[in-house]
Each structure stands twice: as structure tokens, then as C-alpha cells.
Structure 1
Amino acid sequence: MYQALSLFSKSWIFKRQDPKVAPEDLAQIHFLTESKAEQIWRDYVSQDQLHPDLFTEFDWPKKVPEELEINKVQWEKAWDSDLLELPEAVLAHCHHWGEDTTVYFCCHNEQIFELSWGVFKRTWKAFLFLDNGPILVGKKKKQALQFHSNGWVNLLLR
């Protein structure tokens, strides 16, 4: 189910001093095996597309949720600042998620990380070195986030 984080080609993002990932948080970041990642991708993200770059207007991450007043938030300013928290609108979008909610940070169908929402909130700056469209989904939650390299995050509903 899990493989060593050192097998992730960009594991350096978790070893930097800025942003610093505490050892106790690092121990709770799990890099899924390819087969487990493929299963999570199919179950939570897409049965048809293998990478966020391939999404079409028919895939749920491309759909704008009509019930959300705000569906796009700037993350880059918070990332560049000394503030540690995710932007307030992101936290508000995921307010149903408890600290121990299992989340999946999905880069593509073979590269997914499993951790808790609490750990993600503390380590999000490290994860956003991988900002080419990854999707964060919560286990058994309808809210989702997609981070883009242009500094914006889409607030989504599955």
C-alpha cells in the first residue's frame, strides 16, 4: 500500500529547511504504491484520464460548482509569505474536514500521497512545489481542491 518516501523523485521537497516539515509530520506522509495510487485515482479523481492535464470539460474537476460563491482562490501570496496557514477561503471550503480526515494529494494516477488534513494544513507549502494541477480530495468528502502553477486553487465539489 505504501512505499518509502525516498522513492519519490522529488522527495527533496519534504527535506528543505524552508518550508520545514517537522519529523512527526513527515512520518505521517505516505507515498502510495503505484497500484494503490491507481485505485485511489479511479475511485476519487477519474476513471478516464490519467493526469490533470488531460481533463476535459466533461470531467468533474473542470466543472464550476454553481452552489459556490467563490470557486477560485489565490494561494501563491500566502505561500510566499511568512504565514503558515492556507488561505482562509480554502479552509472555509473544507471546514467539514476534521484534523484526522484522510486526504489524498493526487499528482496523477501513479503518484498520490495519503495523509491527514491536519498534517496537510501544516505542510501544504512543501506540497505546492508540485503545483501542476494536483487535486486534494478528502476520503468520503465532497469538497476538493485543485492547485495550479498560476498561483490559483480551484474550489471543487465531487
Structure 2
Amino acid sequence: MSDTYIPLEQYKRKWIFNHKDLPVTDEDKALIKPLSQKASMEVWNKWISSKSSYAEQFGKGDWAAKDSAWSDTEHWQSAWDSEEAAIPEPIALHIDWQDAAKVYFCYEKYQVIETRWDVFVRNWKCFLFFDDGPLLISPKQKQAIMFLQSGQYKLGSRG
């Protein structure tokens, strides 16, 4: 394994993908790839922000800080709390990525997970055990989602 990834078994937040109430298949676990701190920083600096380390710090010059980057704000908490596994419908309507599209779930500058869109959709609740402003992006797409601790999320586009 290159120095780009951390084995999931060694990832400090691995428990979110081993939760008994939200089982993740072995096939999906194989496609959930936490990035090393260095690789996380490279993804964050390139696609999120070269100035801020996490969402609460976004400011002037950060695309995610611009109101114009975000088109809709919706609620994710009730869907997360429900027995229903489906991702909230507005997300499914906003994102038209191929199942195999590479996505980055960016918790903060040094905590990024690479996976595929279909894996994220099936396991989105696990990713949101930590909900302090993570962003979901795909390097080849402009759409983005920011999840907020308030139980809301913002749909938008990277500038």
C-alpha cells in the first residue's frame, strides 16, 4: 500500500464503519480508503481551501465561504435518525454522478476519506457520525455538499 492511504483497520475513526446498527459490507469497506495526513492535506489544499483547516475557518477566498456557492439548504438529521437507509432525496437529485465516480469526504484538512459515489450513498449515515462541517466533493464534478452540525446540509457547486 502506498503512503497515500491508511488501512481502514488502522484508521482512528474506523469504528464508524464497524457500527453494529449500520453494517458496512466487506466489499464496501474495501472501497473506503482513509487518506494519510499528507494526502488529505493535498486534497484539501487543492479542492477545498489552501488557507483554512476546517469548515468553521472558511473565509475570504474560500469558495465554500461564498453564499453564491450554495443553492439549497436542507435537513439530513431526520433521515439519519430514521430506519430508512436512503440518502435524502434532494441530495440524490442534486448529484448526478456515476456510481464509480471517485469522491472525497473531507472532515478537515488532515481527515479525508476517498471512496466511490455508490459506496457513499449506501453508507452515508456512517460517514456522518462526525458532522462538524464535512464536505463531499468529486474531483471531476462541480457539485458539492456540506453537512452541518445543525442537522442541515447545503447543496452547491465548487467555484
TM-score, length-scaled by structure 2: 0.92
Unaligned stretches of 5+ residues in structure 1:
none
- C-alpha change, 1:21 and 1:66, in structure 2 (3 Å) is closer
Identity between Structure 1 and Structure 2 (%):
35
Question: 1:18 & 1:66 partners in 2: Cα distance?
Answer: 35
Question: 1:1-158 to 2 correspondence within 5 Å?
Answer: 1-56=4-59, 58-65=61-68, 68=71, 71-95=72-96, 97-158=97-158
Partner amino acid for 2:13?
Answer: K
Q: Distance in 1 between matches of 2:82 and 2:18?
A: 19
CA contact (8 A) 1:64 1:156 kept: no
Moved over 3 A (4+): 65-68
Mapped to 1, the partners of 2:99 and 2:68 lie a distance apart of: 25
Cα 1:57–1:151 shift into 2, 3 Å: farther
How many angstroms apart in 1 are the aligned matches of 2:60 and 2:74? 20
Aligned mates of 1:8, 1:67 — CA distance in 2? 31
Give ranges in structure 2 of 5+ residues lacking alignment: none
Offset of residue 53 of structure 1: 1.5
C-alpha deviations, 1:37-76, integer Å up to 9, x for none?
Answer: 11111111001111112112542112233783xx111001
- State how many pairs are aligned: 155
Q: Kindly indicate whether the alpha-carbon contact (under 8 Å) linking 1:73 and 1:90 is maintained by their aligned counterparts in 2.
A: no
Q: Which amino acid aligns with 1:109?
A: K
Q: Write the letter of the residue equivalent to 1:80.
A: D
Partners of 2:70 and 2:110 lie apart in 1 by: 31
Q: Residue 21 of structure 1 contacts residue 123 of structure 1 at CA under 8 Å; is this kept in 2? A: yes
How far apart in 2 are the matches of 1:121 and 1:65?
Answer: 26
What amino acid sits opposite 1:2 in the alignment? Y
Q: Counterpart amino acid of 2:139? A: K
Q: In the aligned structure 1, how far is the partner of 2:132 from the partner of 2:33? A: 20
Q: Residue 67 of structure 2 aligns to a residue in which SS?
A: coil
Q: For 2:8 and 2:70, locate their aligned partners in 1 and report how far apart those are by CA, in whole Å.
A: 38
Worse overlay, 8-17 or 55-64: 55-64
With normalisation by structure 1, the TM-score equals 0.92
Instruction: Answer yes or no: is the 8 Å Cα contact 2:70–2:155 preserved in 1.
Output: no
